[in-house]
Structure 1
Amino acid sequence: MKLKFLYLLLLPTLFSCYNVERKCKDFKTGRFYSEVKVADKIYKSTFTRTENLQVEIYDGKIDSSQVRWVNDCEVIYRTINPKNMAERKDVHLKILTTTDSSYTFEYSYVGEINKQKGIAYKKD
């Protein structure tokens, strides 16, 4: 009986020590393809990102944003030539997990609580 109790005490400690390793630096620059699901619809885009600039092609339109890295896994985007009030809002993106060729992320307008999730795949 004491042995079972000891196992029950040790079991939660094994799971609480698990950390997801993120290699965010591998995704700071390059060419990417992304998918974001919003209300049962999947939005797809391609983009190229340098240390300071991201150029995205979505639905046949090109959009450019300034890139400011907060840390290795979080970035703020500011649209260079906003055409409306929504485009004037900065976007905060956080990389949640990484693999060798992709990353899962969440994003929202800066200061907003509602976040969307997506996945991006490195093309090169």
Structure 2
Amino acid sequence: MRHFLLLLLSLCFINCYQVERDCTEFKTGTFEFSYTVDGIEKTGKFVRTDRYNIDYFDNKIDSASVRWINDCEFIQKELHPKNKDGQKAIHFKIISTTDDSYSFEYKLAAKDPYKKERVEKGTAKKID
């Protein structure tokens, strides 16, 4: 019985922990992120305004519209897609924040019934 009470008490403390999520500071600004291509780690940069996201990576510039669902989630869609995959909207969700960075996950906004849903994760650091 004593072990049961200790287990129950420890579960109460674990359930009280909440991940910090102050997303409003990350709705706009200039951000950096790391990504890997063919085993090589690279750094990209993007600038997000209230309505647009401009990506700078691999000496390319890409722009997308941004529509916020709530303070921590938004839909991003390329403005000038080059192929069918670029036409698909992406759903981003900020899952935790720190003073100068946030962790996020993203997936296709509309689920493809013939493919397994793929959720990717990343971290972005606010630099301005």
Match of 2:78 in 1: 79
Deviation at 1:78, TM superposition (A): 0.9
Distance 2:109 2:40 in 1: 23
Distance 1:5 1:48 in 2: 52
Q: Do the aligned residues in 2 keep the contact of 1:37 with 1:117 (CA within 8 Å)?
A: no
Q: Deviations along 1:13-52, whole A, 9 cap, x unmatched?
A: 1111211120110100000111235785545310111000
Match of 1:47 in 2: 46
Q: What stretches of structure 2 of length at least 5 have no aligned partner?
A: 112-116
Distance 1:84 1:5 in 2: 58
Distance 2:62 2:78 in 1: 8
Query: Which residue type is aligned with residue 68 of structure 2?
Result: W
Match of 1:100 in 2: 99
Deviation at 1:8, TM superposition (A): 2.5
Moved more, 84-93 or 9-18: 9-18
TM-score by length of 1: 0.89
Distance 1:40 1:11 in 2: 41
Query: Which residue type is aligned with residue 60 of structure 2?
Result: K
Distance 1:71 1:33 in 2: 22
What's the % identity of the aligned pairs? 43
Q: What stretches of structure 1 of length at least 5 have no aligned partner?
A: none
Match of 2:15 in 1: 16
Once superposed, what is the RMSD of the aligned Cα atoms? 1.8
Q: 1:101 to 1:117 in 2, by over 3 A?
A: same
TM-score by length of 2: 0.86
Q: Do the aligned residues in 1 keep the contact of 2:89 with 2:110 (CA within 8 Å)?
A: no
Q: Is structure 2 residue 113 aligned with structure 1 residue 119?
A: no
Query: Which residue type is aligned with residue 23 of structure 2?
Result: C
Distance 2:110 2:31 in 1: 26
Aligned residues: 123
Q: Do the aligned residues in 2 keep the contact of 1:36 with 1:119 (CA within 8 Å)?
A: no
Q: Deviations along 1:81-114, whole A, 9 cap, x unmatched?
A: 1111111111111111110000111112213421
